Amino acid sequence: MNKSKNLFTKILFTGMAITLVFISCSLAGDMDALREKTGEGGIVLPDPPGLPPPTIIVVEREGLDTLADKLTWLKTNAVSNSNYLLEVYEDESFEGGLYDKIDANYYLSYNGRSNITIYIKGKDEERVLSLKSQGILFGIGNGVTLILNDNITFKGRNPNWATLVHVKENATLIMNTGAKLIDNKCNDFIAGAVWVEGGTFIMNGGEISGNSGGEAGGAVLLYGDVDQKSSFTMNDGLITNNFSYTRGGGVSIEDSNSSFTMKGGEISNNKAGTESGGEGGGGVNAGGTFSMSGGKIKFNQAHEGGGVSARGNFIMTGGEITDNTAKEDPAGGGSGGGVAVDGKFTMNGGIIARNIAQGNTYGFGGGVYVNPALGTIMKANGGTIFGHYSGAMDPDRNIVKNNSGSEKTGMGNAVYITSTKKKEGTADIMVNLDSTKDGAGGGWFN
């Protein structure tokens, strides 16, 4: 066989008879031609990034008309080291489930079986899977990968006590272009859309929007036991218009073992905190490790760290943090329009621009605010944090202003740590900053 080809398997269930159809097709081949060979039930999904060319079993059988039917069948018939495609033909509603009820059909966990991959996609057009009652929509258990492909939408409810998708230890959720997680208003501690508890979440595309979390993570929460490591990698896609009552309007990393890697995509228009209270991280609350090499974090809002609250370790080598706002209401000043640092911030690349620190009087650190008692900043060999050039109105400048709109210099338009350790002018790629050093030795001159 030509090794440049993929071998797909289509299994058709007709009564008790099983028909195997082996299909060899090039990855770059014409998908329409493939459907002509296999009929409308043929495999048309591209290989998911990072996985070997799969043999995919399309579950089609008389009596398996709905996704619920197919999930019931899979609970009994799934075997280890297999890949299954579940196509959704109509919108469906499910009763909300419980966390860790692994024997339920909505919990993708298969006792004694592992390395099982399940693809869910809408047939021909967008198909919506929604909740009839409060609870989770899906759980993903040990040794299982769920891949959401085109034309599939998971829709939550308001209110709800649970997240939409629960990703357990050694489980994986992958979102590709055309998948959506929307409109789940969780009033518990947990995030509205995805709770990763020791598992892995990879976002290659799609959209997470309109969700809220009671305390941490409007859209995505990374949180597990002390010996668990949760991870989220964002290669592309959109996380927008989500809300957390306390911290991490878009994404919240709650424990030091967990990590979020942002290589692309956009986190925008999210908010953490209410008018009367809240903490930080309108876009991202980084309590663990947050590595940003690409993508955009913009138009988010929180009391501190309009874009990012760096409570753990934030490493920025690329990407953009722009147009975010730290706003403290009804009194006081917002801190860190772009980034607020209570942990460690290392910047070797990327751009921090057009952010605002705002308050009833004035804020601190239009671009970056560093808590002098808890935080550190090290900027070396790259990256730009915009400020004022001798008061010039640079359109990319970070701003400190009051609620009336009056701008203020002297409060760290670029970076603020203390009244004697701040940066008003732009810290471009030639300017290094080190909060452990005073004066010009640390880059604190204007």
Burial 126-136 (b: 16+ CB within 10 A, else e): ebbbbbeebbb
pLDDT at 189: 87
Give mean pLDDT in consecutive 10-residue pieces for the chain, a chain of 446 residues. Answer: 35 34 32 37 44 75 92 95 96 95 92 96 97 97 97 97 97 98 94 97 98 95 91 98 96 96 98 80 97 98 96 98 87 86 98 94 93 97 86 83 87 95 94 95 86
- Tell me which H or E stretch contains 58: strand 56-58
Cβ neighbours around 239 below 10 Å, total: 33
Model-level pTM greater than 0.85? Answer: yes
pLDDT at 309: 97
pLDDT at 249: 97
Q: Provide the strand spans (E) within 224-375.
A: 231-234, 238-240, 243-244, 251-253, 259-262, 266-268, 271-272, 284-286, 289-292, 296-298, 301-302, 308-310, 313-322, 325-327, 339-341, 344-353, 356-359, 368-370
pLDDT at 49: 53
- Tell me which H or E stretch contains 35: helix 31-38
Q: Look at residues 32, 40, 130, 125 and name the one whose alpha carbon lies nearest to residue 85.
A: 40
- Alpha carbon distances (Å) from 212 to 100, 222, 244, 279: 22, 15, 5, 15
Cβ neighbours around 32 below 10 Å, total: 8
Domain chopping of the chain, boundaries: 1-184
d(CA 382, CA 348): 5
Altogether, the residues listed in the chain come to a count of 446
